[in-house]
Structure 1
């Protein structure tokens, strides 16, 4: 054997060994990531603020360090973390290698790293019959954004990857289902959420922009189900963003809060709130309510730094934005949203604002109902509004529910 041939064989063996080494490192990195698909969510406040401000887009992204930073020597030398990213389709995803995104049945939505051109913003999108253990999964009706015309039940099962995950935040980026009956019952279409440690009411009607938090029950899955009736013609559609919250996250919803708003000012609304009246008749044959019956839940607002109180008021452009009890049609429209139709004698449908004041005067009760709410301030903490409706909506004629603006007030300078 010539010296030249011997040298060529040695070089070939070295090349094969080096290639195997590179592939081994890459495969091990991908395998380790599949064991921990969820990104840490310890610093989510900026992205949640953006969701509260505008559910359809994210303008400020929370970034989190990967539990297993990757080293991809074939592409570059350096560390590559799986950060939360914003795809070119304006959906939130996870920055990862393109091949890994494909393996996880994700959709690549643009690049997301300056370290390697192989990194893509991977979006997880699932529809009926799916399950997921990935953070920021989107659950939508088939053919979304086209309306869903079918009937039956469409479900997704959300599995927490381990016991370090405590809550699931579900943002209704789009949720348009058949409306409730005139008595506030979801008998035609219904969104139900089961399997968690906290209770979530059955929801129907128009709820785009709303959200709910659900506590995981250990590592047991949470099932989200949309039931629709094919016999009722309606342009239904839904797209829900599913975000898993780490137990150590500073943005976990406090106990008793079905909803948790992060912004220092914004709006809160009852489920299925729309300014227009319901077209359905109730059980006594008169125009029914838009309110959902038999609800009892808390809407919480995170107190910002340097804040001492919070004020709630009706949205100024909508005189129907607080119509919870009595007959809307029987009242002079010019009196709506005034103290003349505000009531604190509330036993059926009402909101609770702890320790309320109006115009600097302490109110005799923390309950508010009727057909108007004048600006109401409270210093009681935590900031929370409780919403209550009973099972009988017969006399709540043409009511819409509530749609309130809130603003936090800075502590006085002493």
Structure 2
């Protein structure tokens, strides 16, 4: 954010280079103090001691205060985010299986939905991922992490918080936890690098329809939502993704290890949808399933 040097310092920021042709400074707002309240837009919340890692058991929370009534959403960009893995995908449970001994991130607001779902979030190397949270009727959102008892694991977080006005082009549609723009891109499950889906995740990935585009096609870079060595269409009880309006099938739910609109295929395919708006849902129900490793899909919007 561009401010004068004096304004930046008075507001508690730190300078990082020049802006406005040298008339201002790039002002960075950050905190690594657990229990603190963020009152500036485009602020970073970091683990105590950052950039050094944290490995001592504790609970650390940050409250992001809504700046104005015209703010509808908070976008969290995971510049750096690594926690302990959940051995069976259930965040908050360590490899030993005891409740409360593992790591768990929760994001709470007055909207009635706390993404990514009832199971919280955990995993190794979620750098580059993002999350949208609705303020709802409340004036704050709380980001909290419970650091579990495994002191051999290094935890790091550096998360950019951006408040999104209600009339912004970058406001996500209601109910969208991830929001992608542009004619093409990549959509990955949370904890894709750790290859273990957080149990209880139930959310929507949304893609903004670009001008002149009437359909979308998805291709798989990685797809493991089960152990069967073929595609499966419907009856995805452990975990699956949904693509509303998927062409070539009477259902819209997909799982197992091949990404294909046709059931029982041994190769990946291309799944196309012409249903507007473009959405891709995720649902993970099954704990203890080592085959729920996640997905990485590329999308391309198709001209009308």
TM-score category (smaller protein):
0.7 to 0.9
Name the CA shift for 1:397/1:149 in 2 (closer, same or farther; >3 Å).
Answer: closer
Displacement of 1:115 in angstroms is 6.8
Comparing both structures, which one devotes a greater share of its residues to helix?
Answer: 1
Displacement of 1:219 in angstroms is 4.6
**Bigger radius of gyration:** 1
Name the CA shift for 1:110/1:385 in 2 (closer, same or farther; >3 Å).
Answer: same
Q: 1: distance between equivalents of 2:25 and 2:48?
A: 25
| Match of residue 295, structure 2, among 402, 406, 411 | 402
Name the CA shift for 1:399/1:292 in 2 (closer, same or farther; >3 Å).
Answer: same
Answer yes or no: is the 8 Å Cα contact 1:258–1:298 preserved in 2: yes
Q: 2: distance between equivalents of 1:230 and 1:184?
A: 15
Name the CA shift for 1:314/1:257 in 2 (closer, same or farther; >3 Å).
Answer: same
Question: TM-score, normalised on structure 1?
Answer: 0.65
Displacement of 1:252 in angstroms is 0.8
3-state secondary structure, aligned to 1:114: helix
Q: 2: distance between equivalents of 1:192 and 1:397?
A: 23
Q: Deviations over 1:216-271 (max 9, x none)?
A: 13352111112102434112101100000111112211011111111221111111
| Match of residue 227, structure 2, among 326, 344, 348 | 326
3-state secondary structure, aligned to 2:292: coil
RMSD over aligned CA atoms reads 1.7
Name the CA shift for 1:115/1:295 in 2 (closer, same or farther; >3 Å).
Answer: closer
Name the CA shift for 1:112/1:270 in 2 (closer, same or farther; >3 Å).
Answer: same
Answer yes or no: is the 8 Å Cα contact 1:179–1:186 preserved in 2: no
3-state secondary structure, aligned to 2:21: coil
Q: 2: distance between equivalents of 1:323 and 1:176?
A: 21
- 167-176 vs 396-405, which deviates more? 396-405
Displacement of 1:210 in angstroms is 1.1
Say whether residues 1:216 and 2:109 are aligned partners: no
Name the CA shift for 1:211/1:196 in 2 (closer, same or farther; >3 Å).
Answer: farther
> Which runs of 5 or more residues in structure 2 are unaligned?
94-101, 260-268
Q: 1: distance between equivalents of 2:60 and 2:287?
A: 29
Displacement of 1:215 in angstroms is 0.9
Q: Deviations over 1:153-181 (max 9, x none)?
A: 11111111221111100111111100112
Answer yes or no: is the 8 Å Cα contact 2:76–2:131 preserved in 1: yes
Answer yes or no: is the 8 Å Cα contact 2:232–2:256 preserved in 1: yes
| Match of residue 346, structure 1, among 218, 235, 257 | 235
In the TM superposition, 1:178-257 aligns within 5 A as 178-187=84-93, 188-197=102-111, 198-200=113-115, 201=117, 202-206=120-124, 207-257=126-176
Answer yes or no: is the 8 Å Cα contact 2:3–2:26 preserved in 1: yes
In the TM superposition, 1:379-398 aligns within 5 A as 379-390=274-285, 392-394=286-288, 396-398=289-291
**Aligned equivalent of 2:7:** 100
> Which runs of 5 or more residues in structure 1 are unaligned?
1-93, 278-289, 316-320, 332-340
In the TM superposition, 1:71-110 aligns within 5 A as 94-110=1-17
Answer yes or no: is the 8 Å Cα contact 1:159–1:219 preserved in 2: no
In the TM superposition, 1:6-405 aligns within 5 A as 94-114=1-21, 116=23, 119-127=24-32, 128-187=34-93, 188-197=102-111, 198-200=113-115, 201=117, 202-206=120-124, 207-274=126-193, 290-315=196-221, 321-326=222-227, 331=229, 341-348=230-237, 349-357=239-247, 362-373=248-259, 374-390=269-285, 392-394=286-288, 396-405=289-298
Displacement of 1:114 in angstroms is 3.0
Q: Deviations over 1:192-216 (max 9, x none)?
A: 1112413213100032111111111
Name the CA shift for 1:153/1:260 in 2 (closer, same or farther; >3 Å).
Answer: same
Report the count of equivalent residues: 280
Q: 2: distance between equivalents of 1:406 and 1:181?
A: 30
Comparing both structures, which one devotes a greater share of its residues to strand?
Answer: 2
Q: 1: distance between equivalents of 2:128 and 2:20?
A: 30
